[in-house]
Amino acid sequence: MNSPVVVLSNNDGCIISRTDEAKKLGVGMAAPYYQNKDIIEKNKVAVFSSNYHLYGDLSARVMDTLRFVSGDNSVEVYSVDEAFVDLKSVAKEDLPSFGVTLKDTVELWTGIKVSVGIAPTKVLSKVANRLSKKDKAGSKGVLVLDTEEKIKEALENTKVDDLWGVGRQYALKVRNLGIENGWQLRNMPVEWARKNLGGVVGTRLIKELNGESCIPMKDPLETKKMIATTRMFGSPVFELKDIKEAVATYVSRAAEKLRRQCCAASAIDVFVVTNGHKEEKYVYSPQSRHRSMTIPIATSNTHELIQYAMPLVDHLYEKGVKYLKAGVTLSGLVPDASIQANLFATENRNEQRHLMETIDNINFSQRDDMIKYAATGLKRNWKMRQEMRSKRYTTRWEELYEIK
DNA sequence: TCTGGGGTCCTAGGACCC
DNA sequence: TCTGGGGTCCTAGGACCC
């Protein structure tokens, strides 16, 4: 109990999540793992690779609970660990108890502790949520900003950098003008924000801080506009063959995601990240190159997509260069059903679609990659490292949690 | 020799998010 | 020796059109 824990990014590269105990030891956020190995070993910090099967499954359970408790109010899943709930239909005086019910039910049903922030706009609710999380005793994990005074106090206690929508660049600009906290920013003129903070982005931010809702809830049925699969290699790669295998594998993954949302892609982009040459001394200064093409007839067929991708890799490849990473982005996504009948389309398009469906079903029900394309390789010596992954307790029979 | 104005669409790149 | 992955939205500027 209470021992420090950190979670690593893919490829065991960076530290992307830390418990309070680990933060206290001075382990930095997004810091490279190897740079912190000393502190970690000295303090017996528990280290885990990331485990997306587990996170995804627990996330789904939490989101289901939110939907159940929220009834007719719409829920927008914002990320694996965050969601917005529209509370327009909840009476103002009922907001605090609603928040508490939401929090308690999630914890009771899933074992996951959450914090709840309630306010007139998305930006302000993020402010509320952040404060409720920090002030563990005071707010008990639920904070409602329902009066001007509470909003003022909350914004005064929030640095500009901690506002949703203010990143490094904007924070720098705003700081240079002597604006330090959310309340000061809120009182800046909208016109100033339009000029200096990315046009409509800035004006929206100021308005949201002023309680005027400008960032609407997203329709849960909306499909993605682009789908990417990218990975660092487990160790640097030099051979064209290895890069091709990797890219073919990423294309397969991306195509699966594409089919899952019933879309087809009309453009494909392949990129690689290089870092110097074979014999050169290692200096970390990654550079990326990419190559793209428009697909004549939008498709979701893995085989076709691999065929489009391979020549792009040929073009990108240069002998003797050290490759750290590769990736594929599918874009120009259109609904599957809308693909035009084309005179030149091959007769067997439907058969191909059935084949894809069958492969997806097998891979989904059995195990990832039960059936794969030969182009994706067998040895896969470029595969990423994941040396300290916890078990996939809730999604794999072989890895079920055991109680002795 | 003089050489407009207004519009749309697309893409690359920047900024942001978790 | 080792530095994550997957998204969104917006803007500026070029190409093209009449």
* Spatial CB neighbours of A285, under 8 Å, sequence gap ≥ 6: A275, A276
Q: Which residues are bridge partners to A117 per DSSP? A: A143
Q: Which residues are bridge partners to A229 per DSSP? A: A328
Query: Has residue A336 got a pLDDT over 90?
Result: no
CA-to-C1' distance for A79 and B18, Å? 6
Closest nucleotide C1' to the C-alpha of A290: B12
pLDDT of residue A351: 81
Average pLDDT, chain A: 91
Q: Is the CB of A79 under 7 A from strand B?
A: yes
A211: left (phi over 0), alpha (psi -120 to 50) or beta: left
Q: Is the CB of A267 under 7 A from strand C?
A: no
Residue A43: closest CA among A89, A4, A84, A2: A4
Q: Is the CB of A224 under 7 A from strand C?
A: yes
Q: Is the CB of A163 under 7 A from strand B?
A: yes
Q: Which residues are bridge partners to A144 per DSSP? A: A118
Q: Is the CB of A294 under 7 A from strand B?
A: yes
pLDDT of residue A278: 87
- pLDDT tens profile A114-145: 999 999 999 999 999 999 998 766 788 999 99
Residues 277-296 of A with CB under 7 A from strand C: 282, 284
The letter for the amino acid at A207 is: K
Residues 8-27 of A with CB under 7 A from strand C: 9-11, 13-14, 16
Burial (CB < 10 A; 0-12, 13-18, 19+), residue A151, is buried
Structural domain spans, chain A: 5-50, 54-209, 227-376
pLDDT tier, A383 (very low <50, low <70, confident <90, very high otherwise)? confident
**Which percentage of chain A shows pLDDT scores above 90?**
73
Burial (CB < 10 A; 0-12, 13-18, 19+), residue A146, is middle
pLDDT of residue A300: 94
pLDDT tier, A396 (very low <50, low <70, confident <90, very high otherwise)? confident
Q: What angle do CA A44, A48, A51 make, to 5 degrees?
A: 165
- pLDDT tens profile A355-380: 888 888 888 777 667 888 888 888 88
* Spatial CB neighbours of A107, under 8 Å, sequence gap ≥ 6: A113, A114
Residues 124-183 of A with CB under 7 A from strand C: none
| C-alpha dist (Å) from residue A380 to A200, A242, A272, A329 | 46, 7, 17, 21
Query: Has residue A345 got a pLDDT over 70?
Result: no
Q: Retrieve residue A371's tokens.
A: 């059936």
pLDDT tier, A324 (very low <50, low <70, confident <90, very high otherwise)? very high
Q: Is the CB of A196 under 7 A from strand C?
A: no
User: Which residue is listed with tokens 């890895």?
Assistant: A399
DSSP type of residue A32: B
Query: How is domain A227-376 classified at the CATH fold level?
Result: Dna Ligase; domain 1 (3.30.1490)
Residue A165: closest CA among A118, A116, A205, A131: A205
* Spatial CB neighbours of A81, under 8 Å, sequence gap ≥ 6: A55, A59, A62
